[in-house]
Amino acid sequence: MHAPRSNAVPAADPVAAAAPAAPAAARRRWASSRAVAPYLFIAPFFVIFLAFSAFPLGFSIWLSLHQWEPTAGLAAMRWVGFENYLFAITDPWFQRSLWNTLWFAVVAGVPQHLVALPLAYFIQRRLKRSRNLVIGAYFIPYITSSVAIALIFSTLYSKDYGVINAALQALGGPGDIDWLGDAAYTKPAVAFVVFWRYLGWNVVLYLSALQVIDNELFEAATLDGAREWQQFRHIALPLLKPMIFFAITLTIIGNLQLFEEPFILVDIEKGVAPSVMTSAIFMYRLAFSDGDFGTASAVSWILFLIIAVLTWLNGRLFQRDGGRHGRG
Amino acid sequence: MVGADRRAPVIAYALVGAGALLLVAPFYFSFVFATHPRTAIFNTPPPLWFGAAALSNYELLLERLPFWRNFGMSFYVASMTTALNLLLCSMGGYAFAVYEFRFKQPLFALVLASMMLPAFLFMIPSFMVMQFLGWIDEPRALYIPGAAGALGVFLMRQYIGAAVPPELIDAARMDGCGEFRIFWSVVLPLVGPALGTLGLITFINAWNNFIAPLVVMRSVENYTLPLALRSMQSPNNTEWGALMAGSAIAMLPLLVAFFFSARRLVAGLTAGAVRG
Amino acid sequence: MFKLFPRLALAAALGLLAAAAAVAERVTITVATFPDLDRAAKAAVPRWNKLHPEIEVKVQSLQYADHHAAMSTALATGSGLPDVVALDFRFLGKFAESGGFDDLLQPPYAAGPLREKFVRFTVPQATNTKGELIALPTDIGPGTLLYRKDIADKAGVSEAELTQSWESYLEAGKKIKAKTGAYLLADAADLRDIVIRSGLKDGEGIFFDRAGKVLVEGPRFVRAFELGRAARAAGLDNKAVAWTNEWTASFKQNRIATQMMGAWLAGHLKNWLAPDNSGLWRSALLPGATYASYGGSFYAIPKKARNKAAAWQFLQFMTLDKETQLESLRVLDSFPALAEAHAAAAMDEPVAYLGGQKARLLWKDIAAKVPAVLVNKYDAMATDVMRDEFENVVSHGKDIPKALADARAQIERRARR
């Protein structure tokens, strides 16, 4: 695993290390072991997955068809069929939360990638000594604890005492924006925190994918007179497609389940809370405030459907462009 | 031509640098707040530089929680989860990337699907499974389920698909390598950056997860760090200074993990690549 | 001569056996609680160990929401439950209806006659619709108006003006704003919450009546919304929700003239909210002679608890023991729910933070007059809906009758089961 990666293509060290076997018999052995191999490789993963995820998944589907207040015990489940789903879809709060969620997904999600891609490229191509430091700086928001984020951002965003308002005032602008209290400003304020948190994560993902691209490609292009921007667009981007697909899928999945940032920044008891209430927060309230686990499960499956559709669309988008992302 | 290219980067460097400072600021503040007493944190303006209450906050923290015990538990669980995840997910991702087999599509769809449901709905059924297995209050209940991360399989599949050309595998096979050998000696060395990324991400997520321990742990000695720190939070009487001190210390291993894997992530300008 | 020896030996052996049995019988009970209430339990443990050495108490503490979520999870499966559960008022209605806790009116608890020992209004809070008493109260929050005497003096406003009626309260607020620049209150929503609770009598519910009908279009609510809107329109509130950083900072910055809250707020002000303002605050009745309570904590015993006898001992110790209740007062500034504790000498002590006012006597009186209102398991949900509609009224100019009608429709929709 620590072997230096070779520049040469196939048939170098690893093969020399393997014991050569008698061709015919070996080939037969390979044929059957090759058929079985994939199953063996995924087996450990799936055993654990099925044991610990399948049951909760199934339970959640089952639960979505019942009415259940958990404190009353398992026996208190009552069959209601699709009533929960109907209730959720026609619920004004759910509809509003869906709108909020999609808003956040776009406003916080798109910039993450628009900035992360060029940034990763820049770091890969231009930074040598300060590289780790810069990556670290951008990655730090991802590891900052929720408690710290809640406390510090509410201090920064404070209407009367916040640094942001102070800076704005110094620059001649209004100095009393209620960032976390006025609906018009709270949404962007929370979206910024989401962007802040996950930008570095995407940078790291893209950086790791950039390692796969041979630098000689870029050097050759420079010699041919291609400018930096052109190299980025025509060499790096196409080769990054598999990772872009991965990163965007994660953003879709993550943002559509957005819970933490709005929850910790805007106290659920604040008047402005409904304007940043995402579907996941709505689900949480249904489950733990209203005591309606059945509808909460139904909402999670409705959300799941939306995420699945968007992910599939995302996949089609990337497949159509002929991106080579390996076999299968 | 060359001159024009060289000018732009100065602005670029400036932007990147400013961005970095902006992003680090809250992290910096959490350490600053950790050194101030509770009443000072809510001053206006908030403290911008380190204060003198670091030791008293630390003592208060230790008084309230078996802090280092919780730290140890978090470290143990996160490390085990990471190690298991790296192995199982690279194997799984490899299979999905390289082989064609029956049920491949539906199985992968199942993996992806599990990522699309929020964790807190799993609380009750997870609890039921743990009760059944008798794993309540044991660290096993945290790192074994965590060993099968859907994210990991997805990431490894993408990466292996991109970084390992099929010709390489065919050639290895023809030269007599067994399937597992191909995986271990041919493919794994090529996906170092992905392993580094996956390890880092897994460690961070496992470290910060508080819902799983909330469901499974029953005694405060067995809480992981985020759960323990949360248990210090009262709706109206939190010891903020001590809490920030605890949070700051809790973030340090993640920083270390990052720098540890950054070396693996960044191969340097002269490193070769597999495909041209 | 030494027939004594075998008898001594026998006695010694029996003695050892008895001691061993006593030690073996040592029972351990787990008490699940949350901050800040956990401090009360932890402070009580040393005294408990002296009185009941055979019962060991383990206090398990989780964050407020985490704790109630964990209890829900445990109740859902009927396993992993502790022996004693601390419940906050906000979640009490839901847990009371759940059927997961023992009815303390039944033997072996037979807590029927014990009900009189507590402040009157707490008992219906812990009683569910089936008439079962599922918990005993340990602390209460008598609603009081804490105000800054120095700011009021500067504005020429007297306590009587502040408390006589809601209208006079708002008028006083305008004077305060004009003369000192301070806000009358932190959030107009606080005003709304209290006015909603005004004029209630024993046996009435806040949002729902006994039959479960939704009451939110009634005159209490209209008045609450109107007054709240008036306060916001006159710029009398800082729009800072309680316990947010904005709110805590306002106290330090002398920007808030009054705060309506449970009496325990005085303790928080003293300890960390505004320790420098000692002597400047006073405690008074809520305006318009309104009697209400904020929050409250209770202890209950789950049906599936393992050591119920020991749990019951501990429960009685925390709720019925005068010394423990007064200890909580000292440690937490939490006001005792036990009526007997109200007669203690500690009640007479002047409270230094409030300028030497004998505030506890005031709070005792308030506690006695709070009406015993009905609790409904959907109260928390109704509170959320009211908050949302109120925001529509004050921030988006929604019409009050329409807001209340929408609120009623929402609550009925969500309380459909």
Question: CATH number for the domain including C87?
Answer: 3.40.190.10
- Is the CB of A37 less than 8 angstroms away from the CB of B99? yes
Contacts of A206 (CB under 8 A, 6+ apart): A116, A117, A120, A121, A240, A243, A244, A247
Give the range of the structural domain holding residue C307, as residue numbers without chain letter: 17-140+295-343
**All partners of chain A with 3 or more CB pairs under 8 angstroms:** B, C
Report whether B239 contacts B165 (CB < 8 A): no
Residues of B in contact with C243 (CB under 8 A): 235-236
CA distance B213 to B215: 5
pLDDT at C199 over 70: yes
Q: Give pLDDT, residue B162.
A: 82
CA distance C400 to C397: 9
Please give the average per-residue pLDDT across C368-384, as a whole number: 88
pLDDT at A310 over 70: yes
Residues of C in contact with B132 (CB under 8 A): none
Cβ of A181 under 8 Å from any chain C Cβ?
Answer: yes
Q: Judge residue A3's burial from the number of C-beta atoms within 10 Å of its C-beta, 0-12 exposed, 13-18 middle, 19 or more buried.
A: middle
On whether residue C102 sits in a domain, the answer given is: yes
If one compares C416 and C283, the residue with the highest pLDDT of the two is C283
Q: What is the pLDDT of residues C202-227, one digit of tens each?
A: 888 899 988 888 998 999 999 999 99
- Is the CB of B237 less than 8 angstroms away from the CB of C35? yes
Rounded to a whole number, what is the distance in angstroms from the first to the last CA of chain B? 26
DSSP string, B180-194: HHIIIIIIGGGGHHH
Residues of A in contact with B155 (CB under 8 A): 246
- Is the CB of C77 less than 8 angstroms away from the CB of B236? no
Cβ of A81 under 8 Å from any chain C Cβ?
Answer: no
Distance between A185 CA and the closest CA of chain B, angstroms: 20
Q: Sorting pLDDT into bands at 50, 70 and 90, what band is B120?
A: confident
Same-domain check for residues C327 and C391:
no
Residue type at position C266: A
H-type alpha helices, C78-214: 89-98, 122-125, 149-155, 159-163, 166-180, 188-196
Report whether B61 contacts B238 (CB < 8 A): no
Q: Give pLDDT, residue B269.
A: 32
Q: Give pLDDT, residue C137.
A: 95
Same-domain check for residues C265 and C300:
no
Report whether C399 contacts C201 (CB < 8 A): no
pTM over 0.95: no
On whether residue C7 sits in a domain, the answer given is: no
Share of chain C above pLDDT 70, in %: 94
On whether residue C311 sits in a domain, the answer given is: yes
* CATH architecture of the domain formed by A59-320: Orthogonal Bundle (1.10)
- Is the CB of C76 less than 8 angstroms away from the CB of A151? no
Residue A328 is classified by DSSP as: -
Report whether A242 contacts B162 (CB < 8 A): yes
Report whether C291 contacts C369 (CB < 8 A): yes
Sign of CA dihedral A299, A300, A304, A307: positive
Q: Give pLDDT, residue A31.
A: 57
Same-domain check for residues C264 and C389:
yes
Q: Which residues of A190-216 are buried (b: 16+ CB within 10 A; e: fewer)?
A: bbbbbbbbbbbbbbbbbbbbbbbbbbe
Q: Sorting pLDDT into bands at 50, 70 and 90, what band is C71?
A: very high
User: If you count them, how many residues does chain C have?
Assistant: 417
DSSP string, C138-160: EEE-BEEEEEEHHHHHHHT--HH
Task: Show the tokens assigned to A162.
Answer: 């916040």
pLDDT at A21 over 70: no
pLDDT at C376 over 90: no
Q: Give pLDDT, residue C86.
A: 96
Residues of B in contact with C249 (CB under 8 A): 42-44
CA distance B142 to B122: 14
By C-alpha distance, the chain C residue nearest A73 is C76
Count the Cβ atoms, other than its own, within 10 Å of residue B225: 29
Q: What is the pLDDT of residues B145-204, one digit of tens each?
A: 888 888 899 889 988 888 888 888 888 888 888 888 888 888 888 888 888 889 998 999
CATH number for the domain running over B66-231 = 1.10.3720.10
- Is the CB of B95 less than 8 angstroms away from the CB of A9? no
On whether residue C338 sits in a domain, the answer given is: yes
pLDDT at C329 over 80: yes
Which of C243, C278, C297, C291 has its CA nearest to residue C91?
Answer: C297
Q: What is the pLDDT of residues A215-256, one digit of tens each?
A: 888 888 888 888 888 888 888 888 888 888 889 988 998 899
**Bridge partners of C284?**
C145
Same-domain check for residues C208 and C65:
no
Same-domain check for residues C126 and C148:
no
Q: Give pLDDT, residue B210.
A: 85
Count the Cβ atoms, other than its own, within 10 Å of residue C211: 6
Q: Give pLDDT, residue C233.
A: 92
Q: Give pLDDT, residue C198.
A: 86
For B179, phi then psi, to 5°, come to: -55, -45
CA distance C88 to A245: 47
Distance between B154 CA and the closest CA of chain C, angstroms: 31
Domain count, chain C: 2
- Is the CB of C77 less than 8 angstroms away from the CB of B234? no
Task: Show the tokens assigned to C22.
Answer: 């006593």
B202 Rama class: left (phi>0) / alpha (psi -120 to 50) / beta:
alpha
Distance between C99 CA and the closest CA of chain B, angstroms: 18
If one compares B43 and C50, the residue with the highest pLDDT of the two is C50
Q: Sorting pLDDT into bands at 50, 70 and 90, what band is A116?
A: very high
Q: What is the pLDDT of residues B227-253, one digit of tens each?
A: 999 888 887 778 888 999 999 999 999
